[in-house]
Structure formats: structure tokens, C-alpha cells
Amino acid sequence: MKCLYLMLLTICMGLAGCQHVSPHLQQPAPQPMMDAYSEPVPASFSSIKQQRPVIALVLGSGGARGYAHIGVIQVLEQNGIRPDFIVGTSAGSIVGSIYASGKNASELRDIALNMKVGDVREITLDKKGFFDGKKVEDYVNQQVNDTPLEKMKIPMYVVATELKNGTETIFNKGNTGQAVRASISIPSMFVPTKIQDKEYVDGGLVSPVPVEVAKKLGADIIIAVDILAQPVHTETTNMWGLFNQNINIMQNRLAHEELKHADIVIQPELYEKAHIFDVKEREATMQAGARAAEKKLNDIQTALELRQTELQAQQR
């Protein structure tokens, strides 16, 4: 059961009690930002560059370890560091979307500590998986007050994987909960999320810490939070452990390359958790995120000052 719980990843991430989304509310399905990488920097980011560096917060995948993202956000918030946009994969898409909607770190913490198993988990009988993910979608929409991605207070980009072609897709408009549902849909566990006749699965398959997305969107400073499980700490004496280890090795390889392009990498000291719904474990994981962020504050300030000087020199 330990490994099965761990594999539930993002649905257990740390969200509060579920209320059903109003049945009359109809939101457009998320539209893939298919040519995001070829488009110029968004106008809003260009205007920011005239004043200061554009800061991107990149929140990676990692299941229950995603509670650590909240601790990181708390420390950044306390030190006046606010991202201009957020890019999230899997667990990072849940925390990032709720934060982007206007919730502060304290509210995120309360949401995490009050989440219950039944709020986000349901079992279904389907040949493509045994979790449907609809409860996650509804839950996230309830937490963000049904705010679509394009109306977030902080621009939010959710990374998912298009199943048929295995391509990275970035959602930045439409139904927030549905985009997150796509981003957390672990193949063979979750039924793929269908959006406009295409099926999407976990964004962590192609970009577990999506630094490249932030870079191509025009970030001057990229703060990346890496919460991936380290293979050395994974139990491999059983089938589930071996399954986890295969994923861990793959994701760490992918993340290693992307993290080279981050200005700041925050890596909380995290290990596999015994029970993802254990409140004490949630608290400890958030604290690990906060400790790791505190250690990087001087580096963040140095990077900001250096980039500010560079931008001023370019404008002369």
C-alpha cells in the first residue's frame, strides 16, 4: 500500500475539502498553446523587462513531495519575491494553479492540511486506468473559484503530454481544473484526459521540471523547484518499487538537462513518505521546502541584481 499511495502523486498534493463545481457552469476546454515556443515574448513580460528582470517560478512533478512547493512559496513570499509567471508540471501544476489564482502561502498551507482522501480520489473501472481524475478537476476548479487559466492573477502555464505523439503541450487558457487533470494523469493509473479529441497524460513524462518552457517564454530569472525522488532512496525489492525506480531514473535524467538552464535550483531534502495523507508528513514536507528555499535567498538576490544591471546596460 505504501508504494500505491506514493504513486497517487498529485491528487493527494495538498488541497482542502471538496465542494462540487456548480453544474450550470460551462467553461471552454483548455486550448494547447501549440506554438508557444515560436511566439514572441508576451507583451506584458516585455513591459516588465523595461523595469526589472522577469521572474519565472518553475514547480516540478513529484507526487506527495509537492507539499514542499508550498514551503518554497512561503519563503519567497516572506522575502518579497513574487514570480511574474508560473510553469507547473503534475504536482507543480496543482500548487501553481491555486497560488496563481490569488491564494497566498498561508492559505495554501491551510488547504494542504485540510485535504481529505475522499476530496480528490475516486476509483473507476476502465481499461485505460483505475482513477478517472474528474474529482481532481472539480476540486482544483473549486479551489481557484472556477477561474480559467487566462484570467489568473499570476500568468500560469500547465505542462502535459499529448499521448499519441508523446509531445509536450502547454495549456495557458481555458478550464484550469481540466488542464491540471491532464498534467497529473499518470499513464496506466489514470484514464487519459481527453481534450478536443486528443488524450493527455502526466507532464512529468516529458518535462518533470519545465525550465525550458519558462526560458522560451522570456524569463530573465528562473527559480526551479526540483522535488523528484532520488533513485538511491527508492525501495526496489518489490514490483511497485521497481516501477517507481524506472520512473525516477527517467525523470531525473530529463530534469538534469533542464536544470542546467535554471538560475536558481531549489532541491528540498525529501525521501519517500509512508502515507501521503498523514498530516505530520505534509507539515514536514512543507518545512523541508521552506528550509531549502531559505538557503537560496542570497543566490536569488545576487541573480536579480546581476540581471538588473545587465538589463540596464542593454537599455542604454
- Of the candidates 202, 220, 226, 263, the residue annotated as catalytic is 202
Distance of CA 301 to the CA centre of its chain: 23
Q: Give the Cα separation of 187 and 269 in Å (integer).
A: 27
Locus of grid cell 513524462: 205
For residues 131 and 190, the answer to whether their CB atoms sit within 8 Å is yes
Closest CA to 31 of 212, 200, 196, 206: 196
Q: Give the Cα separation of 111 and 134 in Å (integer).
A: 19
> Which H helix or E strand runs over 202?
strand 198-202
Q: 3-state DSSP call for residue 229?
A: coil
H-assigned helices in 230-296: 239-259, 279-294
Q: Give the Cα separation of 98 and 311 in Å (integer).
A: 31
Q: Give the Cα separation of 199 and 193 in Å (integer).
A: 5
- Of the candidates 61, 90, 93, 183, the residue annotated as catalytic is 90
- Catalytic residue status for 110: no
List the catalytic residues. Answer: 90, 202
